[in-house]
């Protein structure tokens, strides 16, 4: 928890030193980092592999967008953006609860298989109901309907959300609930023998993970002022998985920080160079795979171990 305070201070003063265009990207990177950390909450701490995390990102995004622009469904109600964001998280959590109740009682890879199909199912719904969801291109939200307007305000909303999310997840993982999550991850059979309701805690982790993903998706929409199927798609899911695995599963800080690094590398640092016919994403994935081979336990664990050895020497 102590490390969150310096991070909050750094994010608070960052706008003094970073141009507005780059600040915009950093805000998006913070939102992406929350997605990675929330995925790690489920996978890294309970051992249940969720391959459909972007389903809840997209669900939260489209829920908030439609609540803030009800004309898409022919309604005329008025929902404040903050309320829309919260409701988006609640709906994502509720849907996570429904999926968890159906699948997390099963052993093996059934849960992973179901979650892998979810983004494809929801993306088809987006394409079929074009009048509501906007099809492949999505739709925009007018500036008067979004949460905040300026780049600086958007950045601070993203930063505050990232800090609160990180603090809440950290507190959960440090509590008795977090200990039970780890018990399920380390040995589900032993946890059951000790009287832990493993299904209950797997579902709880899934609901919490889905809630943070849904809220992040809703804030993404208010940040970009557009909602589109890219918040559901496979490349985003792949980037989340790579960031978490390379950062270090079950460490929270590793996935969160690596999420920021990976997002900025993909959308800023690598695009600053010209690689000819080689796509920047290929370069990024090649680097990530190389890091994964060289640091199989994750960057966070490797760096922590090296610092520990250096302190002893």
Round the CA-based radius of gyration of the chain to a whole number and report it.
20
**Ranges in the chain, pLDDT < 50:** none
**pLDDT tens figures, 93-122:** 999 999 999 888 776 678 888 888 888 888
User: Would you say the C-alpha torsion 109, 171, 211, 154 has a positive or negative sign?
Assistant: negative
SS3 content of the chain, % helix, strand, coil (to 5): 80, 0, 20
All structural domains of the chain with their residue ranges? 4-233
**pLDDT tens figures, 197-213:** 999 999 999 999 999 99
At residue 291, the pLDDT reads 81
Secondary structure element (H or E) that encloses residue 226, with its range: strand 226-227
Cα distances (angstroms) measured from residue 14 to each of 24, 250, 272: 12, 28, 21
At residue 6, the pLDDT reads 92
Beta-bridge partner residues of 139: 227
At residue 108, the pLDDT reads 67
At residue 118, the pLDDT reads 87
Contact present, 56 and 68 (Cβ < 8 Å): no
In sequence order, the 6+-apart residues with CB closer than 8 A to the CB of 76 are 70
**pLDDT tens figures, 85-99:** 999 999 999 999 999
* Residue bearing tokens 């003063």: 13
At residue 234, the pLDDT reads 82
């Amino acid at each position: 928890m102590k490390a969150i305070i310096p991070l909050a201070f750094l994010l608070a003063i960052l706008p003094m030193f970073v141009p507005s265009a780059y600040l915009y990207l950093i805000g998006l990177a913070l939102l992406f980092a929350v997605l990675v950390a929330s995925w790690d909450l489920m996978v890294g701490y309970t051992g249940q592999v969720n391959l459909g995390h972007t389903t809840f990102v997209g669900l939260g995004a489209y829920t908030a967008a439609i609540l803030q622009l009800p004309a898409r469904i022919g309604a005329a109600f008025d929902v404040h953006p903050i309320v829309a964001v919260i409701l988006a998280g609640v709906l994502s959590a509720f849907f996570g609860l429904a999926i968890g109740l159906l699948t997390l009682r099963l052993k093996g890879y059934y849960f992973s298989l179901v979650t892998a199909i979810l983004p494809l199912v929801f993306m088809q719904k987006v394409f079929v109901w074009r009048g509501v969801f906007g099809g492949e291109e999505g739709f925009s939200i007018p500036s008067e309907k979004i949460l905040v307007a300026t780049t600086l305000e958007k950045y601070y909303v993203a930063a505050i959300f990232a800090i609160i999310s990180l603090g809440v997840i950290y507190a959960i993982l440090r509590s008795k609930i977090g200990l039970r999550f780890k018990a399920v991850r380390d040995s589900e059979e032993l946890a059951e023998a000790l009287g832990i309701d493993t299904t209950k805690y797997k579902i709880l982790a899934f609901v919490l993970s889905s809630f943070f993903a849904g809220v992040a998706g809703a804030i993404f929409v208010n940040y970009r002022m557009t909602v589109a199927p890219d918040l559901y798609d496979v490349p985003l899911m792949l980037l989340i998985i790579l960031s978490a695995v390379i950062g270090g599963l079950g460490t929270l800080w590793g996935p969160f920080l690596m999420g920021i690094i990976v997002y900025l590398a993909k959308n800023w640092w690598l695009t600053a160079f010209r690689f000819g016919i080689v796509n920047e994403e290929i370069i990024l994935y090649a680097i990530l795979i190389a890091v994964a081979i060289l640091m199989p336990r994750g960057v966070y664990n490797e760096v922590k171990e090296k610092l520990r050895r250096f302190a002893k020497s």
